[in-house]
Amino acid sequence: MRKILTSHRKYGLVAFLMMMGPGAQAAERLKAIPFQNFDELKKEYFQCAVSLNPELASSLGLKDYRSKLSNLSEDKIQKHITCLESLEQRLVAVEPSHKKLNPQDRVDLSAMFSHVRAKLRYWRDFRNYRQDIGLIIAPYDTIQMQIAQIESGSEAAAEWKAVIRRAEQIPQYLARIYAHLAEGARNNQVTDRRILEEHGIPSIEEAQNFFGSAMADEAKKTLAPGNYTRMENDLKRAGQAAQAAYAQMVDYLKIHVLPLTKESFAIGEVEYALRLKNDFGLEEKPETLYSKGLEMTSQIRQRMEALARQIDASKDLPAVIAEIRSHYPQDDQELLKAYESVTERAKNFVVTRKLFEIPQDYKLKVLETPAGMRPVVTIAMEVPPPPFDPTKKGGFMVTPSGGEKGKLARHNFAFIASVVAHEAFPGHDLQFFFFQNNPSISAVRYLLADDRGNHFASSLNAEGWGLYAEELMRQKGFFNTKEELIQLQSQLWRAWRVVVDIALHTGKMGFEEAVKTLQEQVFLPAAVAQGEVLRYTLIPTQAITYMMGRLQIEKLKENYKEIQGSNFNEAEFHKAFLGFGPVPPSLIAQIMLDEARGSVSKDQNK
């Protein structure tokens, strides 16, 4: 991998992390230490950010945080706000020198501005934590991801002790959430009715069920028998306490919060436009992207119609898709073999066509999704390796059916190829492998995770890359005809996401109309369409990042290729792009294009 010069070269990543002080002292240290240089500011910034979010810190691989949960007391939140405000002032002081910074530091400055302003809007301006149901389920999600990365061996006991300590803190954690929800209710600040009723409460009930006996059952799979025996009582005690706390929360929400809720998910056009610019670096207005989305849906639909006629001219498009969907694995053994086979096929395809330089130590593991994660991960998901802990590896999780035909049918054979290209190879698994194995990527870039499920990456980068990988494999001829049609359907889905997400949050479309649109235009089953739209209401702007991120990467590659001409090398482009880490493509583009021009100039002067 290409080594990119950043401030981390000065310290080394390990030294950089060791120099950071305790989170509780971050705000005071910012006041006490005058600004010396940009490296110092980045170090302080990173520590302030993780001090309130140990869940993110542990997903990054910082082991000191793996047994902690966020302290969401009002006092701690206010200290964090003070810390963020101080950081914002110092970033403003640096901004006039923006052009004097080296290119990599300019990327970091933009990333830090984006992060601090988004977090201040959440914690200070809107105080969204007083209605955010996602905070209730966050400990459960964090523990699930933590368990998914525990392997049998000498470290398993220490990992499970950290899980137990986290579970033990859940009752106190939820007690603070009660106070915030009550304050929100007093100020008429409550979550959307459907989000609470159809997502929040069911998710919390899943957590309640897991912390019964399921957590101990998971521990038994990776702990040595002797260690399990010694830890069994602690596992059950912590699990039962967490289970009781979540059960009480379900009752509280049903009795005291649900009656106060109404439809209130739309964030409005002004806020949507602000998020596009601040979080993603997108200058287009929501209305412009809405129109662009509609244009893309028309183009993709035309390609699908033509391909469907090739497959079976006697049937219309929905009938051809239905026929393709009817072919799927008949049991879980066949299901996992199908994913393993397509994954190997994808790797051979990429190597043969030299699309990527595959490191010798890269290995892709196909795993069964842990039981506790299966209600959420209904098909498949990449578990990203933590960038600061090279001892832990990622994995491509596939959710088995447990013998249910309806769940097996989700994995039709043609769809498996698209899932592999997006989630596994050359999608997220390869993407996050490059992130973990590049110590030159600045730590502050890993703070750009959105509030739901993107771990430590900007969704525009992560999901944009996943869809870019799918489209790249389609263009290069990886898919057979039926697989290509289903992949185009996935593209159509992502294009309609742009339209529907913007329409929902700017008042152009209501919930039921959005569900009907996805059923009719993308051919999604009713239950899937319902779940999709619920997700859009829960995470505004995230749904557009797949297609918009892909288009940004493709535009960058087009410009890069035009500059390099006959010297363009696809594998080198991919390595260079991934070497910048998980930031929006707009922050990467100018540097990569300047480097391409410099490279061409050197060649011409030889």
Per-residue confidence (pLDDT) for residue 605, from 0 to 100: 64
Domain range enclosing 496: 269-549
Per-residue confidence (pLDDT) for residue 299, from 0 to 100: 98
Q: pLDDT band for position 119 (50/70/90)?
A: very high
Quick: pLDDT tens for 308-334. 999 999 999 999 999 999 999 999 999
Per-residue confidence (pLDDT) for residue 475, from 0 to 100: 97
Question: What's the pTM value of the predicted model, to 2 decimals?
Answer: 0.92
Q: pLDDT band for position 92 (50/70/90)?
A: very high
Residue that finishes a domain, picked among 506, 530, 549: 549
Q: Does the bond joining 426 to the residue before it have cis omega, within 30 degrees of 0?
A: yes
Position 191 in a domain:
no
Per-residue confidence (pLDDT) for residue 371, from 0 to 100: 82
Position 524 in a domain:
yes
Position 374 in a domain:
yes
Q: Which residue has the tokens 């830890």?
A: 231
Residue that finishes a domain, picked among 96, 126, 156: 126
Alpha-carbon distance of 514 to 522, in angstroms, equals 11
Phi-psi region at 477: left, alpha or beta (left = phi > 0; alpha = psi -120 to 50): left
Q: What mean pLDDT, rounded, does the chain reach?
A: 91
Per-residue confidence (pLDDT) for residue 329, from 0 to 100: 97
Alpha-carbon distance of 35 to 424, in angstroms, equals 43
Q: Which residue has the tokens 């707009």?
A: 586
- Say whether 383 sits in a helix, a strand or coil: strand
Question: In the chain, what is the straight-line distance between the N-terminal and C-terminal CA atoms, in Å?
Answer: 25
Q: Is the pLDDT of residue 455 over 90?
A: no
Please, is 120 exposed, middle or buried when counting C-beta atoms within 10 Å of its C-beta (0-12, 13-18, 19+)?
middle
Q: Residues 259, 265, 269, 270: is their CA dihedral positive or negative?
A: positive
| Mean pLDDT for the stretch of residues 415-422 | 98
Quick: pLDDT tens for 510-536. 999 999 999 999 999 999 999 999 999
The candidate with the shortest Cα–Cα distance to 266, out of 547, 533, 545, 544, is 533
Q: Do the Cβ atoms of 529 and 515 come closer than 8 Å?
A: yes
Q: pLDDT band for position 585 (50/70/90)?
A: very high
Position 242 in a domain:
no
Position 255 in a domain:
no
Q: pLDDT band for position 365 (50/70/90)?
A: confident
Q: Which residue has the higher pLDDT, 599 or 604?
A: 599
Q: Domain count for the chain, please give it.
A: 2
Q: pLDDT band for position 393 (50/70/90)?
A: confident
Per-residue confidence (pLDDT) for residue 418, from 0 to 100: 98
Per-residue confidence (pLDDT) for residue 52, from 0 to 100: 84
Tokens of residue 499, six digits: 């339209």
Position 34 in a domain:
yes
Position 243 in a domain:
no
The candidate with the shortest Cα–Cα distance to 549, out of 278, 280, 355, 279, is 280
Quick: pLDDT tens for 35-87. 458 999 999 999 999 988 999 999 999 999 999 999 999 999 999 999 999 99
Quick: pLDDT tens for 269-282. 999 999 999 999 99
Residue that finishes a domain, picked among 532, 549, 566: 549
Quick: pLDDT tens for 554-577. 999 999 999 999 999 999 999 999
Tokens of residue 382, six digits: 């990449």
Position 260 in a domain:
no
